[in-house]
Amino acid sequence: MFLNSSNSLFLISSFLGIFLAISSSSWLTAWIGLELNLLSFVPLISSKKDQYSSESALKYFLIQALASSTLILAAIVTFMSPFYSSVFITCSLFLKAGIAPFHFWFPTVMQGLPWLQTSLLMTTQKIAPLALLSCSLATNSIFSNKMFLVAIVFSSFVGAVGGFNQTLLRKLLAYSSINHMSWMLAAMMLSDYLWILYFSFYSIISLSIISLFHFSQAFHVSNLTFKMNFSSLDKMITLFSFLSLGGLPPFTGFIPKWIIMQEMINQNMIVIMVILLISTLVTLYYYIYVAVNSFVFSSSKIFYYKNPLKPMSSSLIFMNFSGLLFPSFFMLG
């Protein structure tokens, strides 16, 4: 099993590293927290003994080590040029979070992981870099704003275009995550409350989709059509979950995007908002394409097996509609 005694210890240590990084008062302790998180997460990736997990673990370690080295370089360069130091810090955190244009490792690492490790990589492993990016933006607001704007444009474009013609579900979610990073960076430029709110919604919806794929053991788009334990109700839940992840109203994923769009209008960030909306429409296109194909090309096999998703159906539906019950609550920030 994934959560045996050793993996539980590594998981706790990974969370301690995240907590140390986000609660640190200096970049040195933040770096220590990031390293603790890295050294604890690599064994979790390689817990499944096959060549794909081992390859993903090696790639992840090398990329994160490069980002950590860049962060150390930033500390050295601080005494010579604070400007270049802020550049190195921002780039290293972009690399750790898998934000474009430093996204090249993220889809390939995702492809070799089981669903449980994928859920951690898409959610908890982004907490520390995003929190440190928020601190970096607050201390170097003038230059960081320009770098954030470039990253927003790149992430929205890469996340939208990269998902086209993807038949592997883990790569599809990887490019979706890159696209969501652009929204989080835009929210970060507005306030800490907004990016934390968006990240919370993103994590809940992503976990709902990953849990659906995990229990049905779906890794390819064709699995959504031809798996014998994937019923019409499961396909409908998959469609709702994808539409919620894409932010289509009236689903839960629309709530944080709606709040961010209102704030962007108030801050006169119209151009960035239009770019984000266009990229979201593109991602919605391939979400709908994948989900509708699973309905059109339905398997003719009779369902003899017990459906493993039936106990989860009501909770998954609630996750993707619960935001409609109290949207005004999230406007109080």
**206: containing domain:** 5-332
pLDDT above 90 for 319: no
Give the pLDDT band (50/70/90) at residue 302: very low
Query: Taking Cα atoms as reference points, which of 214, 208, 202, 113 lies closest to residue 159?
Result: 202
Cα–Cα distance between 70 and 120 in angstroms, integer?
24
pLDDT at position 231 is 62
What pLDDT shows up at residue 216? 77
Give the model's pLDDT for residue 226.
63
Terminal Cα-to-Cα distance of the chain (whole angstroms): 41
Q: pLDDT tens digits for 63-82? A: 999 999 998 888 788 777 77
State what percent of residues in the chain have pLDDT above 90: 37
Per the DSSP assignment, residues forming a β-bridge with 315 are: none
β-bridge mates for residue 220, sequence order: 168
Burial of 183 (0-12, 13-18, 19+ CB in 10 A): buried
Reference 147, options 95, 109, 209, 205; nearest CA is 95
The confidence score (pLDDT) of residue 331 equals 46
pLDDT digits (tens, 9 = 90+) for 177-215: 999 999 999 999 998 889 999 999 999 889 888 888 887
Question: In whole angstroms, what separates CA 39 from the centre of its chain?
Answer: 20
Cα–Cα distance for residue pair 259/271, rounded to 1 Å:
17
Q: What is the mean pLDDT of residues 267-295?
A: 86
Answer whether residue 228 shows pLDDT above 60.
Answer: no
Question: How many helices (H) does the chain have, and how many strands (E)?
Answer: 15, 0
Please give the structure tokens belonging to residue 90. Answer: 């921002």
Q: What share of the chain is helix, strand, coil (3-state, %, to 5)?
A: 80, 0, 20
What is the band of 306 on the pLDDT scale with cuts at 50, 70, 90? very low
Q: How far is CA 213 from CA 152, 162, 309, in A?
A: 29, 21, 9
In a 13 Å sphere around the CA of 275, the CA atoms on its Cβ side amount to 21
- Give how far Cα 296 sits from Cα of 3, 86, 290, Å: 38, 51, 10
- 37 with 68: CB under 8 angstroms? no
Cα-based distances in Å from 177 to 87, 151, 267? 23, 14, 25
Q: Give the number of domains in the chain.
A: 1
d(CA 209, CA 162): 19
Please give the single-letter amino acid code of residue 266: N
3-state secondary structure of 112: coil
Do residues 208 and 320 make contact, with C-beta atoms less than 8 angstroms apart? Answer: yes
Q: What is the pLDDT of residue 140?
A: 67
Axis crossing angle, helix 115-122 with helix 169-190, rounded to the nearest 10: 20
CA pseudo-torsion sign 98, 100, 105, 109: positive
pLDDT at 333: 44
